[in-house]
Structure 1
Amino acid sequence: MAGDGTRIHVARGADGTIRVAAGSPVFAHDEVDAVGPDFARSVLDVAGAVLVWPVLGEPGPPVAEVHDVGRAQQWLWAVYGEPTAAAVHACATAGGEASPVPAEPGALAGDAARLGFAHWAARWWPASYTDGIAVLEPDVLGLESAALTHRCQQLFDDLGDQPDDCVPELIEEHRAGLGPLIRWWRSAPQPADTARRLEKVLRLIDDAADAAGLDGPALRELRSALERGLAGTPVDAGALFARRDGYALAAGDAPGSGGRVIARGSGTNDWRRYPPGFVDAAEDSVSWTARALGARRQMEVEVVAHVAAPVTGALLVAEVRVNGGPPSRVPLARRDDVWTGRADLDLNPHHDLPAAATAPQVEVGVLLPGFDPGAGLGGRADRDAVRALARRRLADAAQPLASADVYDTFSAPFLAETLAATATSEDY
C-alpha cells in the first residue's frame, strides 16, 4: 500500500494508550471500535499492543492499541513504516496527537494480516450444512497458523503475555494433521501452486518445530519427506483427512409432546453466544414451537448442530422471552444432528403465551452458560456479509493461483480453504 495515499493517525489517550489508525482522524478511546462487531474483525495480541483488522471490505493497515511503546517498536516500523514508528515514539514522549504520516508497510504487514485472519477463521468461520459453507479442516488450519506465527515472530517477544504467539502449542495440538498434509504435498496430480503452498507451509512448520525443540514420529516423518521431495503418488486429498460424511439434518423423529400448537417460528443465531463448533451457522438454525397442554404452556426448541458439535459435556441452553418478559432457559441436549429441548414456561401476567388467537411476541436464542458475552454489536446483515465473504473465498480457493507470489497476499486462500473447496454438497 506504499504510495497509495493512505495516512496513519497517531494519538495518545488519557490512560496512556496510543492508538494507531489509518484513513481518518483517530477516534476517542472510549468510542465503540469502528472496525465492526467482534465476529467481523480479526485480532492479534502482539508485543506491547493489540492489532485489529476489519474482516469485511478491503484489507488495510490495522488499528493498533499500543500499551508498551518500547516493546512495540520492534515491529511498528515493519507493519506501518518508519514514519509511524517515529510518530508513536513522539506521542509516547510528548503526548497529544501526531500529525498524520504516510503508510509505508513492509512485508510483515501482509503476513500479520493473514495471521490475524487465520485466528478469525478458527473462531468465526460460518460453517453451515444448510447454507452450503464447508467446514475448514481444523488440523490443516491450525498447522498453517503455526507456520504463519513462526513467519511473524518479529511481532512477538519473550515476555509470555501474547497468547497468539503459540507455535509449539499449535503444532502439538494439530500434530495428527501432519501425516495427511505431507501425503497431500507428495501426491499427484495436483496444481503446481497447491504443491508450492504445501511445501512452503511444511518447511515453516519444520523450522518452527526445530526452533521450539519439538520432536516425535510425525515431525521426523516431515523432515524425511522434505529431504526426499515429491513422490508423485496419486491420492484423494479429501480422503486423507477425517471428514464427517453422511451428515443428515434432523435424523429421527421430532420430540413431539402433543398438545395444541400456539405458535412457532425461528429464533436468533448469534454466533457470539457459544464457542465454535457447536451450532450450524445458518441464520435459521434455531426454531421453536409453543404448545398448550391444558393450563400448561410448553416451549420446544430445536437447533441445527455443527458437524463437530459435542455429544457429551458442555450443554447449550435456549433463552426464551415472551412478550418482552424476563428470560426463561430451556436446557438442550444433542440428538443426532440437532440440539433439542423443551420446558414448561413459568408464566406470570407479564410473561404469557395467550390461548387466544393473538400471536405472542417470542424471542429465542441459543447460548452456552458461562461463555455467553451478552448482547453486543452486530446483527443479521453483518452475519450475511460474513457468509458472503466465506462463499467468495471458497469460490476463489477452487481456482488455481496466478503465480507463486500471490500466495503471500492477504486474500490468497488458506490450504484449509483449498481443501474445503473440493467438498461436494453431499459432504456438508
Structure 2
Amino acid sequence: MRLIARHGVWCAGEPAAPAPLVAVLEVSGAVLSWTVDADTGPHIAFTDPARADWLWRVVGVDGHRALADALAEPVSDDGAAVEAPAAQLLPGALDHLRRLAFGHWLRRWWPASHRDGIAELDQALVAAEIAALTDDAQDFFDDDALDDAVDELLEPHLAALDAHALRGDPRVQAVVARARELAELQGVEVRGGGPAAVRSDYALAAGLGGGRAAAGEVAGGVASIAWSAVPPGIFDAAEDTVAWRVEADGDGTRAVVRVELVGPDTPEGIGVRLRAAGVAGAGALEADGRSVFALADADRRPLTETDAWGRDWRGAAVAVGAAVDEPAGHRERVRELARSRLRRPPADALLAEVLAAESDY
C-alpha cells in the first residue's frame, strides 16, 4: 500500500469525486470515501492511526504491522509518499463498510424527483437498514466516531416504522423488527401508534401564482438548486425547478420565487438570493416553497418601477441555500446512477431501493 500525504494526514488510494458523487464513512481513526458511480477502491484518510485498531481485519495481521510502521512516519508536505508493500486490502474486506457509506449517501443525495420520475426512497426504512449495517460493523467504531449513532438514526422514524410493521411484506417486517430491537438496546423509547403526520401537499408546481395582485412582470426565468447548498429531502432534484420573476408597480420592485418540493419536510427559512447587474435582494422560503423580497440597487436604495424597467435582467441569477460551486454535470451523474439502480437494483441494494424499483412498475 502506498501512502501519500494530503492535507496533513496520510492517505491511501485515489481521492474520490467531490459531493454529491462521494459516499463517506468515518470509522475509528480514519475517513473512508468512494465515488458512488465508479467501481474503484476506497480512499482512506488516516486521521488518527493509533485508533485504527481494525486495520488487521482488512489488511491482515502482517499488513497491519507494516502499515502501522509506515503511518508512524511524520507527515510532511502534501505529495510526500511512503510505501508499505506488505499491506494490501483483502478482497471484499471493505464491502460492508462501502454499503454502509452508500446508505448514508442515499439519505443525503438520492435525487427524488416528480419531474424526472425518480421515485422517493422510504427514509424510515433507509435509516433502519443503516442502523443494522452500523450495528454489524461495530468493530470499526469507537466512542469518538460520528457515523455509529444508531439512536439518532432511528428516533425520528419510530412512528413510521411502527406503521411499516403492519405491512404484509416479510422483508419489511424483518428490517423493522431489527430496528426496534436496536432502538431498545440503545435506550430509545419505542412507541406504538400510527405513522407520524406528514405534509400531504408537497407536489408543488413551480408556478408563481397566488399572493398579491398581479403587477407588471419585468423579467423572469428558471434556475437550478445546488444540492450541496440545501438540506436533503426537501426540493425536487430535477434541474430548472426554481421559477422566478421580477415584478414592479407603484409600490416598488420585488422578486417572487417558487421552488418545486418533494417529500414531507418544508423549506421554511432557507435563504434565497437574486443578483443582476447592479441589483440584489434576499429573502427566505416559506413552507410552500415561495419567497417574495424587495430588490435594491448597488447603493442599497430600493429599486423603483422606472429603474426596474430600465435594467438589463438577462444575466440575473437566483440561488437557494448556501453559496457553493457545484457542476450540473455531477448532478446528472447522480440521476443516471439512481435511474440505473431503479431499473435493475444491484445485489447490494438496500431494501428501500428495491421497493422503490418495484413501485415503478
Scaled by the length of structure 1, the TM-score of the pair is 0.71
| 1:18 aligned to which of 3, 7, 10 | 10
Kindly indicate whether residue 63 of structure 2 is the aligned counterpart of residue 78 of structure 1: no
Q: Contact 1:84 / 1:103 at 8 angstroms: preserved in 2?
A: yes
Q: Which amino acid aligns with 1:68?
A: D
Equivalents in 2 of 1:149, 1:208: separation in Å? 10
Residue 208 of structure 2 contacts residue 244 of structure 2 at CA under 8 Å; is this kept in 1? no
SS of residue in 2 equivalent to 1:321 = strand
Moved more, 138-147 or 96-105: 96-105
> Which residue type is aligned with residue 302 of structure 1?
R
Instruction: Structure 1 unaligned segments of length 5 or more: list them.
Output: 1-7, 23-33, 188-194, 219-239, 407-411
> What letter corresponds to residue 141 of structure 1 in structure 2?
V
Alignment partner, residue 20 of structure 2: 39
For the residue of structure 2 that corresponds to 1:38, the secondary structure is coil
* Counterpart code for 1:39: P
Contact 1:87-1:98 at 8 Å conserved across structures: no
* Alpha-carbon shift at residue 174 of structure 1 (Å): 2.6
Aligned residue in 2 for 1:254: 210
1:214 and 1:354 mapped to 2: Cα distance?
56
Q: For residues 205 and 289 of structure 1, do their structure 2 counterparts lie closer, same or farther at Cα, with a shift above 3 Å needed?
A: closer
Flag the 1:198–1:77 CA change in 2: closer, same or farther, 3 A.
Answer: farther
CA change 1:341–1:57 in 2 (3 A) is: same
SS at match of 2:83: coil
1:422 maps to amino acid:
E
Give the distance between the partners of 1:212 and 1:350, measured in 2 at CA.
Answer: 53
* Per-residue CA distance 1:339-370 (angstroms, 9 max, x = gap): 11222211247998752485431000111xxx
User: What CA distance in whole angstroms lies between the structure 2 residues aligned with 1:384 and 1:255?
Assistant: 34
Query: After superposition, where does 1:7-406 map in structure 2 within 5 Å?
Result: 8-12=1-5, 15=8, 17-22=9-14, 34-58=15-39, 60-74=40-54, 76-80=55-59, 85-95=64-74, 96-99=81-84, 103-157=88-142, 160-184=143-167, 187=169, 195=170, 201=175, 205=179, 208=182, 212=186, 216=190, 248-250=203-205, 253-255=209-211, 257-294=213-250, 296-310=252-266, 314-323=268-277, 325=278, 327-335=280-288, 339-348=289-298, 355-356=309-310, 358-367=312-321, 372=322, 374-376=323-325, 378-397=326-345, 406=347
Q: Distance in 1 between matches of 2:329 and 2:125?
A: 30
Contact 1:301 1:342 in 2 (8 A): yes
Contact 2:279 2:297 in 1 (8 A): no
Measured in 2, the distance between the counterparts of 1:362 and 1:177 equals 42
**Cα deviation, residue 146, structure 1:** 0.5
- How far residue 68 of structure 1 moved from its aligned partner, in angstroms, is 1.8
Q: Is this contact kept in 1: 2:58–2:93, CA < 8 A?
A: yes
Range 388-397 or range 78-87, more displaced: 78-87
Query: Aligned-pair distance for 1:145?
Result: 0.6
1:422 correspondence with 2:358: yes
C-alpha distance in 2, partners of 1:54/1:163? 20
Percent identical among aligned pairs is 29
Cα distance, 1:309–1:172 mapped onto 2, change above 3 Å: closer
Secondary structure of 1:73's counterpart equals coil
Change (3 A) 1:308 1:11: same
Between 1:173-182 and 1:108-117, the stretch displaced more is 173-182
Residues 141-166 of structure 1: per-residue CA shift (max 9 Å, x gap):
11001110011111112xx2212111
Task: Give the 3 Å change call, closer, same or farther, for CA 289–62 of structure 1 in structure 2.
Answer: same
Check conservation: 1:320, 1:328, Cα contact below 8 A: yes
Q: Which amino acid aligns with 2:275?
A: R
Name the SS for the 1:148 alignment partner.
helix
For residues 109-129 of structure 1, the C-alpha deviation after alignment (integer angstroms, 9 at most, x for no partner) is 111000001111111111111
Gaps of 5+ in 2: 75-80
- Cα separation, 1, equivalents of 2:200 and 2:357: 15
Once residues 81 and 418 of structure 1 are traced to their aligned partners in structure 2, the CA distance between those partners, rounded to angstroms, is 34
CA contact (8 A) 1:127 1:135 kept: yes
> Number of residues paired by the alignment?
350
Deviations 1:276-332 (A, max 9, x none): 122211111111111232583321111112221327xx4122111112x47521232
**Worse overlay, 95-104 or 284-293:** 95-104
- The letter of the residue matching 2:12 is V
In structure 2, the residue matched to 1:234 is none
Compared CA separation, residues 18 and 248, structure 1 to 2 (3 A):
closer
SS in 1 for 2:99: helix
1:99 Cα deviation after fit? 5.0
* Deviation of the 1:21 alpha carbon: 1.1
State the match for 2:78 in structure 1. none
Take 2:113 and 2:271, find their aligned partners in 1: how far apart are those partners? 20
CA-atom RMSD in angstroms: 3.5
In structure 1, what is the Cα distance between the partners aligned to 2:251 and 2:186?
Answer: 65
Task: State the AA in 1 paired with 2:273.
Answer: E
